[in-house]
Amino acid sequence: MLNKILKQTIASAALCSMLTLSHSALAHDDHTHDKVANKTGAANQTESARVVSAGAGVTELVFALNAGNELVAVDSTSQLPKGHNEVAKLGYHRMLSAEGILALSPNLVLGTDAMGPKATLDVLSGANVKVIQLPDAHTQAQLLSNIDEMGKLLNRENQAKTLQNQVNQSFTKIEKKQQQIAQQGDAPKVLFLLLQADRPARVGGDDTAADIIIKLAGGKNIAGFSGYKSVSQEGILSLQPDVILISNRSDKAIESPIDDLLKQMPLLEHTPAGKNKHIQSLKPQALLGGLGLSAIEAADKLASDFINVNQY
């Protein structure tokens, strides 16, 4: 459903290309980067919006609010829909360069608490660029709050209300699937593997984006620790996961990531997940920026898969 929502909103963005933000939304009201809770500003009546978005989840929301046409740059984690090739690509959202951003003459730089470094944000604020850091969303309430604040900042308040309703509907749909999973017995045991070139596979434990998605979908993350850690094949085998989720951050295109994983880690074929072919890929953008639209979409699909897992 979210795919449909995004496609609809991206298509609508083209119709909104002549809209401009009102003056106070992007007003350069001080020289310090401020948290969104402190001030969001009023509407800009005279100045065209030139927005830099840093963070895959934030950029998704910009497009979902029909403001994609106002983007002048995004960070390297953000995915751009077709037709937005003119938008510049910056570096990683935690390692932004002030010079590169200032060269684009933005009036709003939008990201999360993870955006940085602080020295870059201070330089931008000192150059009268409005810098807003939204709290990383880990809950439905925080995501809805971020949508509300972005609606005000981008002068898309009506679109924000519509998107909030759509997000609430998605959560309701997932909750119904969670109830069905619970009625079928114990929650499926799930293991998440983060795959990167030239590095050992790492398992995602508590307090990770993968953990948020697994629990939202009604599964049980069996990692047993917090953050990311390397775990041997024997260690994974002992956990006997029902489902293995993988995400590959390699720049190299992999035609069949699941077959590639089993080739590299053949012991996984002896887990319930391997025997029943319950190994699935998560899109990298679903794991960036906490709970966002891609993460909800991934959780919804995963919840449907968990219902089938319990049939074995």
For residue 265, pLDDT over 80 is answered with yes
For 193-242, the DSSP string reads EEE-TTS--EEE-BTSHHHHHHHHTT-EE---SBSEEE--HHHHHHH--S
Quick: pLDDT tens for 72-86.
Answer: 999 999 999 998 989
Q: Which two tokens stand for residue 207?
A: 């307090």
Please give the pLDDT value at position 13: 41
pTM: 0.79
Please give the pLDDT value at position 286: 87
Go through the domains of the chain in sequence order and give each one's CATH number.
Answer: 51-156 (3.40.50.1980), 184-310 (3.40.50.1980)
H-state helical runs in the chain: 2-15, 56-64, 98-102, 118-126, 140-153, 157-184, 209-216, 233-239, 257-264, 272-275, 293-309
CA pair distance 1, 165, nearest whole angstrom: 13
| 3-state SS, residue 283 | coil
Can you tell me the mean pLDDT for 242-269? 83
For residue 214, pLDDT over 90 is answered with yes
Please give the pLDDT value at position 253: 64
